[in-house]
Structure 1
Amino acid sequence: MNSKVCLILCTSLLLLAGCSKSSIDARKTGAPRANSATSKNVVTQLTDKDVFGNEATLAVSEEDIQDALAGEPFSVPLHSQVILVQSGSKAPETQMQQEMSKYYQIATFAGIPDRPKSASCNKPGAESGSENMNYMQALRYIAAKGRQKAIIVYWDTLQSGKYDPVTKTTVWSDYRNDSLADATTLRYLVRVAVTDVATGEWAVWSPVNYEYSLLPALNGQTPATEQQLAQLKQKTYAAVAKDIANRFK
């Protein structure tokens, strides 16, 4: 008899442990799991779905396209309050913040999204809806509370290019802090998405990028210095900020 009671108690404890509930505040302050599948060294970039929702995968009719064309374009007047986000970073780079501050009053937000959590024992729809809310929808809510006009998200990629004498073109690849052969150029690609907080309307584009030619060293190898990278970023960010201001003023 005692063995049966013990077995029932052990089973009950296991079920409770696997299906325990906690308040939202408790989850906010809870310690992260040690066996996370995502490495801390892996940079998580914002995806199009994070920023644009499901619009890229919806079935779109010709009427939907015409309705979108008939809509009024939104504006972001100079000196408006905006949220600035750099994809994959806890905060936008200082150079970009400085350039954007010339045109807007900026607040920053992390560009690392929380991915949907694995299924739990909670009832369907009880809490998962709030936890797995779309990144941009949640950010619009935060911006609305802060009376910000728009949310500006940008993705940036530094690339190195090597001239191919056979095809007579420059072959580009992502730069990874390696030494660069002579006759190599650098470019900084930036993609921008601006979302209107009030309506959810958005615009996305890639401004013209700058290319930076590196002078070859005597030994044929030219390591890209921090100064060269900083100059390239400075030029690019200045052009991007000015482009945003001109487009939406």
Structure 2
Amino acid sequence: MKKNKKIALVQLVSLFILLVALSGCGVRSISDSGYRAEHGGNARASNPFYNGELSELAVLGIDPGVAASQEEINRSLAGRQKLVLPKGASLMLVQSGALMPDEEMLRDLEQYYAVAAFSGVPTGREGGNYATALRLAAAKGGCDTIMVYWGALETAQKSKGTKALSWLPLVGGMIPDEAQEMRIRLKVAFIDVKTGQWEAFSPRPFQGTAVSARYSREVADQGQVAGLKASAYADAVDTMVKKYAK
């Protein structure tokens, strides 16, 4: 009996440690990247237009409910062509979850391509026809390729030694007492408007640390978000041009 109680106690302590570790972590979309006052990302969406993310399956025209034959797979492999995005080409840009793509991504892409921005806000009605509807919209806009990208910001907070001083109502609120680790990860998909053929890649993640006091949390957080987005977008475009531009 004592042994069972000891095991149960160890399990309970382990669970408590896990919950404490997770309480300082959070994940938010790059399309809803405003400050979260609550650790763990449980605060309400900071972007009033944010309504979730676009489904990769819908964007790429994949219907998991439809069986594919081996012949279809073979034909797709045999007819596959290398994706090329020559400089100056017309590109329809979609940021999943956002009414408009972030300005930094637009600015970086416009150095090499003619970019048309398109909404990435899901309506809840995306289905098997969404991919072809997206391609039709791009075709009517004179775009040869669609670029859709998703992104996540992952954060974790660590208390500093000065946290004990934060009981001071004024001074404590101005003493840096928390370090926030943040990482941004992107995923990019290109869709050929004419054929529907697609290709995807994941740029390298970027990470940074920001130290803040109680009254400077939001400023530090948003500065961190802006800096990581700028670095990740610039690197994604640079990688894209080196890989696909001719």
TM-score calculated relative to the size of structure 2: 0.63
Match in the other structure for 1:186: 182
What's the counterpart of residue 151 of structure 1? Answer: 146
Mapping 1:160-171, distance limit 5 Å: 160-161=155-156
Q: State the distance in 1 between where 2:51 and 2:124 align.
A: 13
Tell me by how many angstroms 1:226 deviates: 2.6
The 8 Å contact of residues 145 and 191 in structure 2, kept in 1 or not, is answered as yes
Given residue 197 of structure 1, which amino acid in structure 2 is its aligned partner?
A: V
1:94-173 matches, cutoff 5 A: 94-116=103-125, 134-161=129-156
Structure 2 residue identity aligned to 1:188: I
1:79 counterpart = 2:75: no
Query: Who is 1:235 aligned against?
Result: 231
* Secondary structure of 1:107 counterpart: strand
Aligned to 2:100: 91
CA distance in 1, matches of 2:88, 2:200: 21
1:11-31, CA deviations, whole angstroms, 9 ceiling, x for partnerless residues? xxxxxxxxxxxxxxxxxxxxx
Instruction: State the Cα distance separating 1:50 from its structure 2 match.
Output: 2.2
How far apart are residue 56 of structure 1 and its match? 4.3
| Runs of 5+ consecutive residues of structure 1 not aligned to the other structure | 1-39, 118-131, 164-179
Q: Is the 8 A contact 1:82 1:148 kept in 2?
A: yes
**CA RMSD of superposed structures (Å):** 3.0
Query: How far does residue 103 in structure 1 lie from its aligned partner after superposition?
Result: 1.6
Pairwise CA distance, 1:193: 1.0
Change (3 A) 1:202 1:181: farther
Residues 76, 149 of structure 1: 8 Å contact kept:
no
AA partner of residue 159 (structure 1): E
What are the Cα deviations for residues 32-78 of structure 1, in whole angstroms up to 9, with x where unaligned? xxxxxxxx665231112320223444434555444433322231211
Contact 1:181 1:222 in 2 (8 A): no
Amino acid at match of 1:77: P
The count of residues paired between Structure 1 and Structure 2 equals: 180
How far apart are the structure 2 equivalents of 1:41 and 1:197?
A: 27
Counting only pairs closer than 5 Å after superposition, residues 192-203 of structure 1 correspond to structure 2 as 192-203=188-199
Asked if structure 2 preserves the Cα contact closer than 8 Å seen for 1:113 and 1:135, the reply is: no
Q: Which has the higher contact order (CA 8 A, sep 6+)?
A: 2
Residue 35 of structure 1 corresponds to: none
Secondary structure of 1:113's aligned partner? coil
CA drift of 1:183 comes to: 4.7
Per the TM alignment, residue 136 of structure 1 is displaced from its structure 2 partner at its CA by 2.3
Match of 2:51 among 33, 43, 63: 43
Q: TM-score, normalised by structure 1?
A: 0.62
Identity %: 31
How far residue 115 of structure 1 moved from its aligned partner, in angstroms, is 3.0
Q: 1:41/1:217 Cα in 2 relative to 1: closer, same or farther (>3 Å)?
A: closer
